Structure 1
């Protein structure tokens, strides 16, 4: 009995290890193999902190809002978003197209334990602050949202107009 329980435990550990490794290999960040919205963001990419031309403060609140929810930047500008969670619960700011954010939000509803710490995303506990440095490479609109379950649907989203 002891031997078979040990073998079952070993097999379960091996299966979990292989499945976790496959998820990381496929997605690069442990999100069950799916891509982050910012990775396919139509406007911009991670910016060089040494080339930041200005900083913009963005607050997240438990009222499910970003302040400001509308931001304007110039094409070619590298901006530091100083993101602060003024609330008590976890919030995040994730950059992407509306379609990417909606699709990723649907995935978050199925796996609420996912966390975002990539170049175009930040997840913060209540009272914490962090930064995203982003280079806006061409004119258009880039959206952002909190993909924590219930938050995006409650209106926790905004847009960056790149002029």
Structure 2
């Protein structure tokens, strides 16, 4: 995992942190990129496009939509847009993983992610994540910038 600070200095976090925060169990996680919600997609292959807008309104922080249903093995291109006035993130993982990572973010709130399952966007910026959902279950996307998740910035992905 690469962590970027506002100063532009890249710091590489220990492999054990990346494995515990994002990867599945077992030693294979140290060598293969393994994620609870599936795997990075192939941008050259067809994908269903899901537009996700991030923002703030009336004291709440939101994702629109806040729920996405997908089929197992479906590839989705999340087209992300931050319509807000603050930076926001889209981090795709399990609730437990996001809660654990949120604790790390409280200690380092300017942490930015360079992972295939996460993207941080400045106000009025766009980005995308291509993801293949290889595992059935319920996952989430949330903004882990301190206070944002608590203000309602959580979405659900249901994989059937």
* In 2: Cα distance, 1:150 partner to 1:128 partner: 20
1:130 corresponding residue in structure 2: 127
Q: 1:24-66 CA distances to partner (integer Å, 9 max, x unpaired)?
A: 2614xxxxx7227444432201010112321000000023100
When residues 161 and 115 of structure 1 are mapped into structure 2, their CA distance, relative to the original with a 3 A threshold, is same
Q: Greater CA radius of gyration, 1 or 2?
A: 1
2:97 corresponding residue in structure 1: 100
* In 2: Cα distance, 1:108 partner to 1:52 partner: 34
Residue 129 (structure 2) pairs with residue 141 (structure 1):
no
Q: 1:64-108 CA distances to partner (integer Å, 9 max, x unpaired)?
A: 100000001111111100000010110010011101100111110
Unmatched segments (≥5 aa) in structure 1:
1-19, 28-32
**Hey, which bits of structure 1, 4+ residues long, moved more than 6 A?**
none
The match for 1:86 among 55, 77, 83 is 83
* In 2: Cα distance, 1:129 partner to 1:38 partner: 23
TM-score, normalisation: structure 2: 0.79
Residue 42 (structure 2) pairs with residue 48 (structure 1):
yes
Q: Secondary structure at the residue paired with 1:49?
A: coil
1:34 corresponding residue in structure 2: 17
Alpha-carbon RMSD across the aligned residues, in angstroms, is 2.0
> Would you say the 8 A contact 1:52–1:133 is kept in 2?
no
Q: Secondary structure at the residue paired with 1:51?
A: coil
TM-score, normalisation: structure 1: 0.78
By percentage of residues, which structure has more helix?
A: 1
Question: How many residue pairs end up in the alignment?
Answer: 138
By percentage of residues, which structure has more strand?
A: 2
* In 2: Cα distance, 1:58 partner to 1:116 partner: 18
> Would you say the 8 A contact 1:38–1:121 is kept in 2?
no
